[in-house]
């Protein structure tokens, strides 16, 4: 008698998370049928879960009958220490960096093999960027991503280096050996430069932020117009702001001399 290939049934928690995961920046408002289709759940199951989530405040219903993420879920998510807590510590230093440059200032953390932007400051005349707070991006192309990848665990680095490297422009580093050399240079200098790797009109200069155990917990960058970019001139301001955040987070090495090396 042959065995059947069956998957274990999903738990209610898993189904609930699938419902929430149906929403995205491209699909922020969905009908009940949309949620059912995007989550892969039967309509009756979707209806029951959506009803409970709406009653709790994780979802809210628009006047047109479509649902969107609710304020109560945002309130709970804001308690994440790598989100709101880091943002509150970093924001004064980000504002100082923005005041000096009048350009995009970005704060990001690593989540597995991607980065997540947790804060961004921008001005009317700053170069447009493909980022949003809460948005994800690949690690190998942006300035903050290169910093986070350079100081990521070895297995994370090797996983990305062994995977196809997506390109956004002709300048994107898509060769693993070249990327490996760039990461080594970031570890040596403590500064990453992404030169037109995401859009052809933007250059990013980034530095690591250290936590209380001197591990890299986040990255800070300034993104400027490529025509006006001078990474060498921008690096000291970015490094100073990142070191100030590190010091506020309790990093022992950030309290030492400004040119002290980043712990490996």
Domains, in order of start, for the chain:
12-76 (1.10.10.10), 81-255 (3.30.450.40)
Element at 156 (helix H, strand E): helix 154-161
pLDDT attached to residue 2: 46
Nearest to 130 by CA among 217, 197, 207: 197
Please report how many Cα atoms fall inside a 13 Å half-sphere around the Cα of residue 28, on the Cβ side: 4
pLDDT attached to residue 82: 57
pLDDT per residue as tens digits for the range 235-253: 999 999 999 999 999 888 8
What's the CA angle centered on 78, arms 21 and 46, to 5 degrees? 25
Residues in CB range of 102: below 8 A, 6 or more apart: 123, 125, 126
Residues (pLDDT < 50) of the chain are 1-5
Query: Which stretches does DSSP call E strand in the chain?
Result: 59-61, 67-69, 104-111, 114-121, 136-138, 192-195, 202-210, 216-225
Residue 184: how many CB atoms within 10 A of its CB? 11
pLDDT attached to residue 131: 75
Q: What pTM does this model have?
A: 0.72
Q: What is the DSSP letter of 173?
A: -
Q: Are 101 and 237 in contact (CB under 8 A)?
A: yes
Nearest to 252 by CA among 218, 219, 214: 214
């Amino acid at each position: 008698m042959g065995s059947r290939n069956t998957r274990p049934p999903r738990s209610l928690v898993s189904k609930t998370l699938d419902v929430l995961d149906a929403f995205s920046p491209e699909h922020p408002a969905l009908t009940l049928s949309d949620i059912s289709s995007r989550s892969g759940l039967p309509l009756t199951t979707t209806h029951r879960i959506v009803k409970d989530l709406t009653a709790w405040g994780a979802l809210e219903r628009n006047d047109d009958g479509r649902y969107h993420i609710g304020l109560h879920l945002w309130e709970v998510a804001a308690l994440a220490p790598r989100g709101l807590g880091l943002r509150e510590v970093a924001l004064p230093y980000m504002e100082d960096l923005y005041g000096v440059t009048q350009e995009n200032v970005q704060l990001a953390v690593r989540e597995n093999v991607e980065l997540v932007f947790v804060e961004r400051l921008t001005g009317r005349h700053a170069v447009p960027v493909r980022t949003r707070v809460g948005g994800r991006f690949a690690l190998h192309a942006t300035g903050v991503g290169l910093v986070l990848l350079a100081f990521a665990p070895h297995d994370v680095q090797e996983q990305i280096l062994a995977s196809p490297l997506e390109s956004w422009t002709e300048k994107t580093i898509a060769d693993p050996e070249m990327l490996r050399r760039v990461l080594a240079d970031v570890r040596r200098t403590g500064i990453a430069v992404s030169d037109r790797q995401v859009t052809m009109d933007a250059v990013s200069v980034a530095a690591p932020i250290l936590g209380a155990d001197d591990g890299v917990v986040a990255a800070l960058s300034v993104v400027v117009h490529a025509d006006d970019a001078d990474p060498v001139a921008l690096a000291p301001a970015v490094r100073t702001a990142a070191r100030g955040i590190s010091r506020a987070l309790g990093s022992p090495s950030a309290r030492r001399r400004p040119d002290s090396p980043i712990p490996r």
